Structure 1
Amino acid sequence: MEKKVKGHDELAAEARNCALCAQYLPHTPNPIFSTAKFAKVLIIGQAPGLKAHESGIAFNDASGDRLRSWLSVSKPTFYNPKLISILPMGFCFPGYKNGADAPPRKECAPTWHQAFLSQIRPELTVYIGRYAQQYYLPEYKNLTDAVYTTFAANAGHVALPHPSGRNNRWLAKNKWFEEESLPMLQHYVSNALQN
């Protein structure tokens, strides 16, 4: 018997009710993602923070403000899933570890990503942070190498550091990112949204 392929809405509804790792989470599962078929830009981030968990809105914090600035997009554009879809490595807030957000749960991406990626055909994919980079771009030795090289390659995907204030030291050390990479990122995003 041939396995029925789920439509996007059915898949999204199933993912929103996911409780796969409930026993490991500090709160009731609240999967946070925003996708639409044929989105122009796809953001693959890490995992929602506590503010996102409480509001149900991805990047609903200072990190999101910085990310939107980096992308040079408005909030209405950012939160329109037909333009920009958001698919984190972990859909739920993973809690804290050593004073920072814990890593995304490892069950999530293998369970859900391929099904969503088979239906989203973005012009540009943006991998945010080392968890997304290690999972999708393992050929790079570290995040800095991935960021620098993917921008130079202009191959329909780029890696970014996480826009958290915790990365201010990285940004200060790698001035080329803001001086050279961000103008390219804004160009890539603008082109993708216009296609």
Structure 2
Amino acid sequence: MEEQHVVEERHGDFERVLVVGTGALGVAFLPFWINWLGNSFPGMEQRYALTRSACRFVSRDAVAVLSGKEVFVDDWKEFSGVDVPHVSLAEWADLILVHPATLNFVSRFALGVADTPLMLALHSTRALVGVAPSLPPGAPANPVVQRHLAALRERPGVVLAPTIPARSASTGEVADGGSAPLNELYDLCVERRRSAGGERAS
């Protein structure tokens, strides 16, 4: 009974979560995280979005079947002229988790680029946005990348997870830059919301 109470309490922090996968190799593990979210928070509403590059590493159909929801692909060509997907996503979510977030995605988000439906949603939402960067070897030491990460760290409403050591697929060497696990990103967002005195979304 005590364990059930803990799960319900954690679920109470967020009710509608949008998970965004970008074109880092780690997005191939998204099916695992779909199951984790569903098992950990059975009452939570979940939606999933993929960038076009993410679709190289994880199947849109697999994500749809596992989540039981239509998958949002971040491409204007996916929508008719009367659709306003960025508005519906921005208004629906009370938490957006970008996991993993490529260097390209991090840079565009930090600079305020708004050239796709998802980017427009991220810049327009009042939801808390958690970002777990997945950076190539050497990138964390680049001063431009450091400025982008610092800008996101300082932005209100954004939670930036620290990168972790990861093994390079090409060289086999271990270096900083891997994305933090989605459960850790989620917990960081819970901590931010509670420290800000946030209440459960209605």
Q: Do Structure 1 and Structure 2 share a fold, with TM-score over 0.5?
A: no
Please give the range of the TM-score, normalised by the shorter of the 2 chains: 0.3 to 0.5
How high is the TM-score relative to the length of structure 1? 0.39
TM-score (norm 2): 0.38
Structure with greater strand share of residues: 2
